[in-house]
Amino acid sequence: MSEKIEFEHTERFPSSIEHLDKIESISADIAHKAGFDDSTVDDISIALTELVNNAIHHGNHDDISKQVTVKFTRTPTELTISIRDEGRGFKMENLNNPLQPENLLADNGRGIYLVRALMDDVKFNFSEGNTEVIISKNRK
């Protein structure tokens, strides 16, 4: 990122869903201060909550000895949020398409699809010992 960073904030917490409300509240506060309208703030919170939930359950397998790290970075043109867990990652090609008829009534499998629909950019970084998802929303 070559742009000037206006604001940066990092939260680390154990892999427990009891931290979801706090991270959602922090996200909403940061997004509002970045100038996003209520609807966009909700979109960012939904995407972040989905990814943090995935990091806790799928990445760290609900192991409270493993951490989830969420880093917010605001520049003049975007808000970027990095969500990192201590998991081994997954293969994108193994994700089911939630729009396929056989998946329409499934109880899960829509999270990544939803995040991509709500955010302007979504990137996945898989490395030894952690998975990172970086989402961003353009500031208008």
The rounded distance, in Å, linking the Cα atoms of 70 and 62 is 17
Question: Does residue 106 lie in a domain region?
Answer: yes
Which range of residues forms the domain containing residue 117? 7-138
What's the confidence (pLDDT) of residue 128?
79
Question: How many residues are there in the chain?
Answer: 140
Residue 81 reports pLDDT greater than 60 = yes
Q: Is 1 a member of any domain? A: no
CATH label of the domain that carries residue 13: 3.30.565.10
CB atoms within 10 A of CB 112: 18
Per DSSP, the three-state class of 38 is helix
pLDDT exceeds cutoff 70 at 91: no
Interhelix angle 111-118/38-54, rounded to 10 degrees, is 150
On whether the CB atoms of residues 70 and 11 are closer than 8 A, the answer is: yes
**For residue 109, pLDDT beyond 60:** no
Give how far Cα 39 sits from Cα of 36, 46, 80, 112, Å: 8, 11, 17, 19
- Give 90 or 14, the one with higher predicted confidence: 14
Residue 123 domain flag = yes
User: Could you tell me if residue 131 is inside a domain?
Assistant: yes
26-48 pLDDT, tens per residue? 999 999 999 999 999 999 999 99
Quote the number of domains for the chain. 1
